[in-house]
Amino acid sequence: MQCEICGMDIKGTPTRVTVEGTVLDVCGKCARYGKPTDKWTPVSRKMMPTERVVVTHKPRRDAFDKIGDEIVADYARIIRKARESQGLTIEERASKMMEKSTLLRKIEREELLPEDTVRKKLETELNIKLTEKLTSQDQRGGGFIRGTTLGDVAIIKKKAK
């Protein structure tokens, strides 16, 4: 066996030292360059059998499948009419719903569509219905509608060979 520092043949057993974090087998002369390490014992790495996890993938759902209802077009008028019929101001209604009055004000001015949580609160507090079911005619297809192209209009002459 050769010394890993100087390259000379090692007579007898090599000395195991650590030099700058690396464990080397060296001769007796080069052993002074490192710190002696403990006796080397091979570490058995027993691999524990692991259970294989079978991953089943659920088919992805289209985001538009979840959308079954659509907010009615005149939602602001319905909300304002229901609130006024109860004789409440925007601030009073907002405090009862635990929402900000500016949010309700923007919803009534149609500057903002109500999120689902706010919409549900409005429907329960005011006893109104702000959504309607989409019919198959109302749903837009996800397909691409191609417009007229130059190829549809132009007459293309083919080259004669």
Q: Which long-range contacts (CB under 8 A, 24 or more apart) does 47-51 make?
A: none
Helix (H) or strand (E) holding 5: none
The β-bridge partners of 148 are none
For position 43, what pLDDT does the model report?
63
DSSP state of 80: H
Residues 6+ apart with CB under 8 A from 84: none
Q: Is the pLDDT reported for residue 23 higher than 80?
A: yes
Q: What is the mean pLDDT of the chain?
A: 80
Q: Where do you find CATH 1.10.260.40 in the chain?
A: 68-133
Q: Which ranges of the chain would DSSP assign to H, the alpha helix?
A: 75-85, 90-97, 101-108, 116-126, 150-153
Q: When comparing pLDDT for 75 and 66, which is higher?
A: 75
For residue 143, the tally of other CB atoms under 10 A from its CB is 6
Q: Is the pLDDT reported for residue 150 higher than 90?
A: no
Q: Which long-range contacts (CB under 8 A, 24 or more apart) does 40-46 make?
A: 40/16
Residues 6+ apart with CB under 8 A from 160: none
CATH no. of 68-133: 1.10.260.40
What backbone torsions phi and psi does residue 5 show, to the nearest 5 degrees? Answer: -100, -55
Q: Is the pLDDT reported for residue 52 higher than 70?
A: yes
Give the model confidence (pLDDT) of 76-92 as tens digits. 999 999 999 999 999 99
For the four alpha carbons of 119, 120, 125 and 126, in that order, the dihedral sign comes to positive
